Structure 1
Amino acid sequence: MKTKVRIDLHILQTVPPANLNRDDQGNPKEAIYGGVRRSRVSSQAWKRATRMQFADQIPAEDLGTRTRRVAGELAKRLKACTTLDDEQAARIGSALLAPVGISAGKKAGATAYLLFVGNGQLDAIVDLVAGRATELAAFDDAALAEEMRALPIAEQFRENHPLDVALFGRMVADIPALNVDAAVQVAHALSTHATEAEFDYFTAVDDTNEDDDPGAGMIGSIGFNSATLYRYATIGLNQLHHNLGETDAVLDAVDAFVDSFTRSMPTGYGNSFAHRTLPSLVAVVVREDQPVNLVSAFEKPITAPQGGIAERSARALATEQQRSVELWGDKPAHTAFAHAFGKDTEAELAKAFGTSVTFTALREGLRAQLQGYLA
């Protein structure tokens, strides 16, 4: 692929009272933007929610695991496919990581940092020794280490990346050869309007209280707010193609991300607020220049004397997209949007984002557009 291609995803989503992503005080995260306080959900929180959403549509063997217990995961797989006992499997699992140079952690069997590895990659490493597991278990430490150095273990970490590692990347500071550049960038979600923190004071009744002891069994409070959030992410098609290689795998990864990022929701205090909603607007823009976050549409906070915050936010987003195209002359290669607004707002959105379609049709149209680049 010679053309640099970016897929921008713009989402508006209204969330009722909730605490999606808390700070160190347990309250919803916030940020000052445009001179006012906004509700904020960190990019890390929504990326994890997206990864969890993948599990609903993608087999586990095609996904990754983020863990410090890589040696333990290898041992578990070894034990499942051989006759090794726990101690033997743990010893070989640790030995498999030694040639790679991954720093050991303070706890036995743990690495010094979280590693994002593919389940398929772990299986491939186990396959290197499974047929000789009983023989290897009888070796002393020096002989076992020598055998491990002769195996292409590091290569397994550098090849056949799972979908989520290819999308979100992997950073191993002390072993640059294991790094995978992320194909996706995710912005912190911000409310399109000013918000204020609120607090839910609650009590819990002890069901066994006697009549002469009517007090609460527990008293507490939870911080919350409600907001219409602007969510933005961008996918680098060239980097994703580099990470995955195969055209079908790239197209499947883009589709899985668009679907899962759109439908996902961080789960903080989910039982307390039942806050899960779906977006009211999803717009996709394929660009051949650079990614463009349209958050400047909300630098002046949206107010809602009539019509509601979400609809006014959608109109502001459409205006900002048109302004960007007119000012910079960077006409997108492909646009489409799905929405839940009325006809007047749809007309405004259509001026900026092209054709109004269902979410399924939006994904199908994007796949067809990208197929042309990858061909």
Structure 2
Amino acid sequence: MNRTIIDLHILQTVPPSNLNRDDTGSPKTAMYGGVRRARVSSQAWKRAVRLAFGDLLDASQLGERTKRVGESLAARIAALDPDRDGATSSALAAEALVAAGLAKVEKKKGETKDAESSYLLFLSRRQLDNIAAYTVETTRAGGTLDKSTLKKLANTDHSVDIAMFGRMLADMADINVDAACQVAHAISVHAVDNEYDYFTAVDDRKHDAAETGAGMIGTVEFNSSTLYRYATINVDALFDTLGDAAATRAAVEAFVTAFARSVPTGKQNTFAHRTLPDAVLVRVRDTQPINFVGAFETPIGASDAAGRIRLAASALATHVRDVETAYGEQPVRSWVTHVGDNTAALADIAEAVPFQTLVTSVGEQVGAALGVPA
């Protein structure tokens, strides 16, 4: 099977916003090309994608990432064995998780608490279901829970989000999962300066005209930007983890949709910043991923003749052609969904199609590579 790499390149303009804050509440930034850029971390956008998966995939195809894994497993045990009360379900869940080496149990004032992982533990819902079923069946038969069996159940039937973004357990490396998807930090194609919104709030119970002044005052930091976003999927690695060609195609289609349409929710009630991309460019490759952020190493400047998005689209199209010509890196297939004339330059390097057609075309290409009938 030939290697199949899916590269996604997105240009997206967002209004005044604070999508992703640092520890002081300021919008995250980064230095690139000698100037400060707006930045949205890969973790923030991956979280947005995982949330969007909930609308695109069945819950059984997704995972749970939590320290409170004992609660989740106990609920499943109780559903399988209704004669158990909550305490005995929790105790049995704790026994299974401790036996597997996935969690610890703390006792306080003589009471056993639900088992918790010492870190956020990422397990698929099917893995939790399988562990619960094995635990109930084994204890009913009077058997002893086997660590190797429990670990195997925790390392099969991986969810789409685990396969995409990986799983790392520092103290149980043999059930780690390598991520099939990499997401870059989004950065603005131009320099930014953060700004401050000074706001006041009025106390609704101040009725006396003599009571002047605001009930609260404060500031919110923000910026606005045109972002370059990039992600890549190693389809072969994704297939190796999921073990099913049809599931792999569905996962790729879900990711393309979720990555393009999702937006981190930081301060969204304050700024209502949700936009859709100005352009989504997909390149299918059989060699290696290529991030084209170099198109914006020289920051884009606004002009009277053209706004930043038009100049950014032109710079990206030119850079793609230059890099691919220099290295002989021609894509297997390429599609672009672009909005209006401002991003029309990208139609010169890819087939212009509506977004849903782009998603379906990418899925068909993945299916063909994996031998799935169209």
- TM-score clears 0.5: yes
Task: Supply the distance in 2 between the matched residues of 1:308 and 1:104 (Cα, whole angstroms).
Answer: 56
Query: Displacement, 1:356?
Result: 0.5
What residue ranges of structure 2 are gaps of 5+ in the alignment? 108-112
Task: Supply the distance in 1 between the matched residues of 2:364 and 2:76 (Cα, whole angstroms).
Answer: 39
Amino acid at match of 2:280: V
Q: How many residues align?
A: 362
- State the Cα RMSD in Å: 1.7
Query: Displacement, 1:345?
Result: 4.7
What residue ranges of structure 1 are gaps of 5+ in the alignment? 137-145
Query: Displacement, 1:211?
Result: 2.2
Matches within 5 A, 1:86-235: 86-104=86-104, 108=113, 109-131=115-137, 147-149=144-146, 152-209=149-206, 210-235=208-233
Matches within 5 A, 1:1-375: 1=1, 3-81=2-80, 82-104=82-104, 108=113, 109-131=115-137, 147-149=144-146, 152-209=149-206, 210-305=208-303, 306-342=305-341, 345-346=343-344, 348-352=345-349, 354-375=350-371
Q: Tell me the percent identity.
A: 46
Query: Displacement, 1:104?
Result: 2.5
Which whole-Å deviations, capped at 9, do the CAs of 1:226-276 have from their partners, x for residues lacking one? 000000000001100100111100000000000001100000001000100
Task: Supply the distance in 2 between the matched residues of 1:297 and 1:196 (Cα, whole angstroms).
Answer: 21
Which whole-Å deviations, capped at 9, do the CAs of 1:27-78 have from their partners, x for residues lacking one? 1000000000100000000000000001112122221010001111101222
Task: Supply the distance in 2 between the matched residues of 1:329 and 1:106 (Cα, whole angstroms).
Answer: 59
Task: Supply the distance in 2 between the matched residues of 1:150 and 1:29 (Cα, whole angstroms).
Answer: 43
Amino acid at match of 1:250: T
CA contact under 8 A between 1:322 and 1:351: conserved in structure 2? no
CA contact under 8 A between 1:84 and 1:133: conserved in structure 2? no
Query: Displacement, 1:131?
Result: 4.6
Amino acid at match of 1:88: T
Task: Note closer, same or farther for the CA distance 1:150–1:14 as it changes in structure 2 (3 Å cut).
Answer: closer
Query: Displacement, 1:99?
Result: 2.2
Amino acid at match of 1:255: E
Which whole-Å deviations, capped at 9, do the CAs of 1:98-143 have from their partners, x for residues lacking one? 222225377842111111111111111111133566787xxxxxxx
Amino acid at match of 2:39: R
Task: Supply the distance in 1 between the matched residues of 2:166 and 2:99 (Cα, whole angstroms).
Answer: 22
Task: Supply the distance in 2 between the matched residues of 1:125 and 1:345 (Cα, whole angstroms).
Answer: 50
Task: Supply the distance in 2 between the matched residues of 1:291 and 1:150 (Cα, whole angstroms).
Answer: 39
Provide TM-score, normalisation by structure 1: 0.93
Which whole-Å deviations, capped at 9, do the CAs of 1:274-296 have from their partners, x for residues lacking one? 10000010000011111110000
CA contact under 8 A between 2:94 and 2:105: conserved in structure 1? no
Amino acid at match of 2:123: V
Provide TM-score, normalisation by structure 2: 0.93
Query: Displacement, 1:366?
Result: 1.2
Task: Supply the distance in 1 between the matched residues of 2:89 and 2:100 (Cα, whole angstroms).
Answer: 18
